[in-house]
A = this chain, B = another copy of it.
Amino acid sequence: MEGNMEGSIVRVTVPAGAEDGYEVRIGSGLLARIPAEVAVLLPGARPFVVTDANLREAGHLAAMAGEAFEDVYSIDPPGETSKTIETVEKIIDAMEQKRFGRDTVVLALGGGTVGDVAGFAAAIYKRGVPCVQIPTTTVAQADSAIGGKTGVDSRLSKNAYGAFHNPVRVYVDCATLKTLSERDYRAGLVESVKHGMIMDAEYFEYIESHMDGILARDDAALLHLAEKNCAIKGHVVAEDPKEQGLRRILNYGHTIGHAVESLSGYALLHGEAVAIGIVGACRIGEALGTGTGETTSRARTVLEKLGMPEAIEGISKEPILDTMRRDKKSVGGQARFVLVRDIGETDPAGGGYAVEVPATVIEETLSELGAG
């Protein structure tokens, strides 16, 4: 403390957190062993399950919980429209009603919405309780369940509310993917395509050459995708947990993607919107001369095989531009884009990984994508 009659300064130190981490357990048919393993991981903790009607109907809740858990909150209706602060309040109210204390562990069993909502509720309940993520969709297994991002939307924007709250463990059970609708299954694979494009040309080639097995949901293909996705996502978030640099590459395809997803009123699934965004990012790269036509063409081919939409339908340019200006990568109200130079190689853009793009290039690209 340095002091004088005028005042003084006290410095409060915040001790460094110990280096730590968590396991992602990958396999097929893992659900039944989760309760016992969590009891070993967090002795004495009271589990509270957050899930939704789809998971109940598919039998996954019963496969995991059996008769063991009475404390279950089902998000209703399932899906993106329930990703709100009101849902978080209902979950916290349910935990309080049952007197769940700081010894709670939240088990998030479901897709991206369940993981985001339950993870955020765990992050802010009594200043934070642990959360186990059990993603059951292609998109959640590849992306959202790993890395500690949690959050819910406001009426104005996605993830207006959120926190970084790492899970204490993640279970990726490929068997849960077999009950997924064809459309959800395919849309979620776009995150795998994204991983290949931004970081791993060999992985992209695997997807190109194993499309039949992937679409047939063969166990070997599912396990390989899960391992590659978790390794890539795990590597990126370990390098840059708070998204101050490298982690931004995971937003590849998401600038246009988020905007059209939201403006479609969520008629487009996340992966479908990101597929359009990936093609858009490829076209921007070509226009700037940093990307190649071959990259665009290979991306298009894979996304077509997945049955992804190739154009923006029924949304005009102005609202897309306006929404993109509110994107988190925006600087001074100007959208920035993650771009790849080649399959597997993201443009580092001086370490920021987000490239400033002239407004005319963005508008042209949106026109090419079919925006009115």
Give me the interface of A with B, judged by CB distance under 8 Å.
Answer: 1, 3, 5-28, 30, 85, 89, 92-93, 96-97, 99, 101-102, 123-128, 146-149, 151, 154, 156-157, 159-164, 166, 170, 220, 223, 227, 230-231, 234, 237-238, 241, 326, 328, 330, 333
- The answer on a CB contact under 8 Å between B227 and A10 is yes
Assembled-state Cα–Cα distance A17/B17 (Å): 5
Query: CB-CB < 8 A to A18: which residues of B?
Result: 16
Assembled-state Cα–Cα distance A227/B1 (Å): 8
Assembled-state Cα–Cα distance A326/B97 (Å): 11
- The answer on a CB contact under 8 Å between A163 and B124 is yes
Pairs A–B under 8 Å by Cβ, sample size 16: A1-B231, A8-B26, A8-B27, A11-B21, A11-B24, A12-B147, A13-B19, A14-B166, A16-B17, A17-B17, A85-B89, A92-B160, A93-B154, A96-B157, A124-B124, A124-B163
Given A85-B85, A85-B89, A160-B125, A27:B6 Cβ within 8 A: yes
Assembled-state Cα–Cα distance A159/B126 (Å): 6
Number of copies: 2
A-B contact sample (19 more), CB < 8 A, given A6-B28, A16-B20:
A7-B26, A8-B26, A10-B230, A10-B231, A11-B22, A11-B234, A12-B22, A12-B23, A13-B19, A14-B20, A14-B22, A15-B19, A15-B238, A15-B241, A16-B16, A16-B18, A16-B19, A101-B326, A124-B124
- The answer on a CB contact under 8 Å between B30 and A163 is no
Query: CB-CB < 8 A to A326: which residues of B?
Result: 99, 101
Assembled-state Cα–Cα distance A186/B147 (Å): 47
- The answer on a CB contact under 8 Å between B238 and A12 is yes
Nearest CB of chain B from residue A82's CB, rounded to whole Å? 17
> Which of the residues B9, B17, B162, B166 comes within 8 Å of A24, measured between beta carbons?
B9
**A-B pairs with lowest CB-CB distance, top 6:** A7-B27, A12-B234, A127-B162, A16-B19, A13-B21, A10-B230
